[in-house]
């Protein structure tokens, strides 16, 4: 069996590979297409991207989990389907820990706390003073259980600031609500609102990591903003169905990691407000477990429910 698996890995891939993503135009979609194109060039085989929206990314995740464990069907996983879904969906059809083999982390990033310019603040400390005794502030997210939602709830829990959550169906819709002043605050990827931030149509107050982030170097991190416990990372990892032969997982992993080390790839990712970030299979799987442990009580305390 071992020798047969090694032979399969040496010949892999001998036909098209499919990467399932979530949400056309999303960061996960960008990464799937970018990495898919590079892998296609490297392998001499088409890499097809299949975006399936719905249920916070759990629909495409479940399709991959139930696919043949042969390396030809992969999933660009992230916090929604791999972490918050465990708590949000009591009847989740798959288990993010049991039903997937980690291939490699692909990228990490942050969200940016941004506010409508009508809010008379220029820093997080200004915002805390302004917002502490108000009850009319709303924060927009890309949907229940998304990282933009969970980051907002984490901010509320660590600061005690009351804000009403308003879920939208996408980051773009959440951004539009903020621009229209229908909501006053949001926690979105710096790329989602880069043009609006540069033009002054929105103000950036904080990145959701302890330190400043290279993809948004002008925005302070939580430590210098004196917001302890505020650390909520965007992350994206490539997964295969559980029981995919290890030699095949390692083959995909090695090729993905070689791509992620290329300077032009690192630069392309930074322009999207994210960092190339590789890992071993075990590191990715352990990271998912740790994120589930970390976010589950936050989700329960905030009484977050699925759409």
pLDDT at 226 over 90: yes
Pairing label, strands 233-241, 100-110: antiparallel
Q: Report whether 274 contacts 234 (CB < 8 A).
A: yes
Three-state secondary structure call for residue 276: strand
Name the CATH superfamily housing domain 18-108+233-301: Bordetella uptake gene, domain 1 (3.40.190.150)
- Which class is domain 112-207? alpha beta
pLDDT digits (tens, 9 = 90+) for 125-144: 999 999 998 989 999 998 88
Any idea where the domains of the chain sit in the sequence? 18-108+233-301, 112-207
pLDDT digits (tens, 9 = 90+) for 72-83: 999 999 988 899
Q: Report whether 150 contacts 298 (CB < 8 A).
A: yes
Same fold, 18-108+233-301 and 112-207: yes
Over the chain, what is the mean pLDDT?
Answer: 90
Taking the C-alpha atoms of residue 274 and residue 30, their distance in angstroms, rounded to an integer, is: 11
What is the token pair recorded at 125? 């400390």
Average confidence (pLDDT) over 194-210 = 93
- Give strand pairing partners of 240: 101
Helix axes 263-271, 246-260, angle to 10 degrees: 80
pTM over 0.85: yes
């Amino acid at each position: 069996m071992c020798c047969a698996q090694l032979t399969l890995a040496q010949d892999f891939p001998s036909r098209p590979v499919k990467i399932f993503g979530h949400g056309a135009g999303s960061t996960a979609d960008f990464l799937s297409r970018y990495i898919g194109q590079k892998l296609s060039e490297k392998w001499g085989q088409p890499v097809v991207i299949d975006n399936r929206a719905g249920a916070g990314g759990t629909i495409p995740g479940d399709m991959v989990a139930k696919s043949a464990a042969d390396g030809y069907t992969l999933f660009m996983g992230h916090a929604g389907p791999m972490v918050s879904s465990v708590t949000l969906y009591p009847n989740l059809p798959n288990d993010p820990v049991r039903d997937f083999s980690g291939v490699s982390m692909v990228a990490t990033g942050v969200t940016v706390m941004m506010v409508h310019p009508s809010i008379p603040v220029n820093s997080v400390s200004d915002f805390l003073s302004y917002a502490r005794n108000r009850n009319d502030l709303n924060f927009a997210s890309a949907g229940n259980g998304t990282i933009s939602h969970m980051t907002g709830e984490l901010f509320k829990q660590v600061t005690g600031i009351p804000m009403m959550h308003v879920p939208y169906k996408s980051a773009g819709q959440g951004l539009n609500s903020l621009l229209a002043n229908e909501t006053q605050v949001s926690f979105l990827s710096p790329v989602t609102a880069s043009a609006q931030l540069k033009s002054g149509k929105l103000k950036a107050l904080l990145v959701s990591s302890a330190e400043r982030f290279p993809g948004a170097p002008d925005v302070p991190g939580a430590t210098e903003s004196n917001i302890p416990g505020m650390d909520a990372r965007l992350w994206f990892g490539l997964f295969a169905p559980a029981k995919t032969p290890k030699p095949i997982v390692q083959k995909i992993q090695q090729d993905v990691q070689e791509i992620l080390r290329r300077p032009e790839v690192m630069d392309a990712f930074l322009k999207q407000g994210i960092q190339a970030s590789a890992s071993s299979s075990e590191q990715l799987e352990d990271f998912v477990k740790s994120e589930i442990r970390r976010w589950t009580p936050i989700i329960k305390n905030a009484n977050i429910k699925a759409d």
